[in-house]
Structure 1
Amino acid sequence: MQQPLAMFQRPEWTRVVGVFDLETTGVDVTRDRIVTAHVGVLDASGSVLAAHDWLADPGVEIPEGAAAIHGVTTERARTEGRPAGEVVREVVDALRGILDAGIPVVAYNAPYDFSLLKNEALRHGVEPILSPSPVIDPLVVDKAYDRWRRGKRTLTVVAEHYAVRLDGAHEASADAVAAGRVAQALAERFAPWLPETAHELHTRQIAWARAQAASLTEYFIHIGRLDPSDRLDGEWPIR
């Protein structure tokens, strides 16, 4: 007899999850800089167990477009922000502590945040996190289990789809916590099909992300958005 879906329990890794998000000067992970960061820990109900926020002075002008998204101007960053090198070191240390404890870190569109943090670490002489694991990326997991759902896959849209409240979108703390709760909602929704451990899910996401990038590449070529010789980078969780 087939078990009702309600009888399946969420995987063990959902009991405690780390969360991580950056707001930055732009979208180029090799050149842009951290403006704000959040690293925290959620319990099984999605309540915040620990939280740390940073505001950095990135040492460069914050473009108006970026400031309009996250609300931090160059003037505010210079006045209130801490030296970028100190912030980068503390963010790296906080994440490394969570990962070393075997707690998965949730990051929405993980390659962006982890890759930018890696390059910031190298820029400031901090030992980078080169192979973060285990990482849970709700964007990749959602696409894998609900591939044909129409609509955008931004955090705001996906959080609404899974009935996760997101107040203050594009604030690092709000986005990080919402992403963690979305990961837990995904684990509950798709419990019968999810691997039991975060490490196994991490491994599967590597393949899923590669396949998703290949599929999106073919679509962009078809609609003329990409040249046939170009390919989207499917490396995950860091590039």
Structure 2
Amino acid sequence: MSAGAPRLSNDYDGPCAVCGAVVPAGTGVLRHGPTGGWEVFHPEHAREPQPPRRRDLPGWHRRRLMALDIATTGNRAAVDRVLTAAVRGSDGTSRDWMLDPGSNLLSAAPGKGHGVTIERARAEGVPAPEALEELAGVLTDHLAAKELLVVWFAPHVLTLLHAEFLRHGVTPPADRLPAGLAPVCDPLVLDRHADRYRPGRRSLEAVTAWYGVPHERPGDAASDAAATLLLAQVIGASYPALARLSRPVLHAEQVLWHADQSRHHRDPLDWPFTAVQPLPWQDPPPA
């Protein structure tokens, strides 16, 4: 429960979930139970919610993983541009790119927290086609080995990146691989599935804090990729039902879980991505 959130009380008498004794109406503390229903506690028995215990489980989370993140001019999948990209691997792989988006009139949307300006990207970045070709090669090589690509909020990252590949004449990894863009692991989808009734925000910053995962510079592509990698490993170690899934089954289940989650968290994009065509630049709406 987030700090400062109101404490819900019971309207009716009910048995305490810890001791079983009756909790008179109006004197207890209500909490979501593990299956989504409400449980009532005596105030002295109500413990603050805690993340699940990490276990020494075999599974996909102990294999070679690679996490990807990008910093962009905005969140419009077919319009906005990639300014930086980063991958971090459990085998020590660490690659970073800053892209020169070109000389056309671009601007970053208000509120983007990565701190990379258009001017800096033009001055320090390499030509976008060159950087994107390198990135596509790294992603393709990893996925060709049938190892999981870890992406937080995969539909938005991978859809925008797919449009950028096409915009700059780079063959997307989805078109280089016989099985398409798979297998992918999205910790946001996993967390929403495994702990669907937990209150509070589900941003990368909030979820890493919940699981106790270090996240030094939220919004920075390299920091986000590193945090996402560790988060996937922690979630796998925390939920045996997830850890036991094979990589192909994990990918397939996330398609279904995301579709179910989208009924409550509206998302027009497919999971893990939508094959959109790039559109010409349009200035972002004012804040």
- TM-score category, normalised to shorter length: 0.7 to 0.9
Question: Hey, what does 2:164 align to over in structure 1?
Answer: 120
Corresponding position of 2:6: none
Q: Which of 58, 61, 83 is the aligned partner of 2:101? A: 58
Aligned to 1:132: 181
CA contact (8 A) 1:140 1:205 kept: yes
The counterpart of 1:87, out of the listed 126, 131, 135, is 131
Counterpart of 2:58? 10
With normalisation by structure 2, the TM-score equals 0.71
Amino acid at match of 2:110: G
Q: Cα–Cα, structure 1 residues 14 and 7, in superposed 2: closer, same or farther, change >3 Å?
A: closer
SS at match of 1:22: strand
1:34 aligns with one of 71, 82, 93: 82
Distance in 2 between residues matched to 1:123 and 1:12, nearest whole Å:
34
- Among 219, 223, 239, which residue is 1:174 paired with? 223
CA contact (8 A) 1:57 1:78 kept: yes
Partner in structure 2 of residue 159 of structure 1:
208
Shift of 1:214: 1.6
Task: Find the counterpart in structure 2 of residue 225 from structure 1.
Answer: none
1:210/1:234 contact within 8 Å kept: no
The structural deviation recorded for 1:233 is 2.1
Distance 1:98-1:69 versus aligned 2 partners, 3 A rule:
same
Return closer, same or farther for 1:107/1:12 CA change in 2, 3 Å cut-off. Answer: closer
Q: Who is 2:260 aligned against?
A: 211
Q: Could you tell me how far apart the structure 2 residues matched to 1:6 and 1:17 are? A: 18
One-letter code aligned to 2:167: R
Counterpart amino acid of residue 84 in structure 2: T
Distance 1:7 1:31, change over 3 A: closer
Max Rg structure: 2
**Aligned residue among 122, 142, 145 for 2:191:** 142
The 2-side partners of 1:40 and 1:216 are apart by: 28
Aligned length: 215
Gaps of 5+ in 1: 44-48, 218-231
1:161-216: CA deviations, max 9, x gaps? 11100001111111011011111110011024544311110100000000000233
Per-residue deviation, 1:6: 7.2
1:70-120 deviations in Å (ceiling 9; x for gaps): 111122111111111111111111111111112101000011111111101
For residues 105 and 71 of structure 1, what CA distance do their matches in structure 2 show? Answer: 25
Higher helix share: 1
Distance in structure 2 (CA, Å) of the matches to 1:93 and 1:237: 19
2:94 aligned counterpart, secondary structure: strand
| Secondary structure in 2 matching 1:40 | strand
RMSD of equivalent CA atoms: 1.8
Q: In structure 2, what is the Cα distance between the partners aligned to 1:12 and 1:56?
A: 32
Counterpart Cα distance in 2 of 1:208 and 1:121: 27
In structure 1, the partner of 2:268 is 233
2:61 touches 2:236 (CA, 8 Å); kept in 1? no
SS at match of 2:113: helix
Q: State which drifts further: 168-177 or 56-65.
A: 56-65
CA change 1:6–1:54 in 2 (3 A) is: closer
Identity %: 34
Conserved? CA contact 2:190–2:254, under 8 Å: yes
> With structure 1 as the length reference, what TM-score do the two structures score?
0.84
Counterpart contact for 1:29–1:116, Cα < 8 Å: yes
Give the 3-state SS of the residue equivalent to 2:265 in structure 1: helix
Aligned partners of 1:13 and 1:198 also within 8 Å: no
Cα deviation per residue 1:118-170 (whole Å; 9 max; x = unaligned)?
A: 10111111111333111000000000000000011000000011110000111
User: Structure 2: how far apart are the matches of 1:73 and 1:194?
Assistant: 40
Cα distance, 1:203–1:73 mapped onto 2, change above 3 Å = same
Residue type of the alignment partner of 2:200:
G
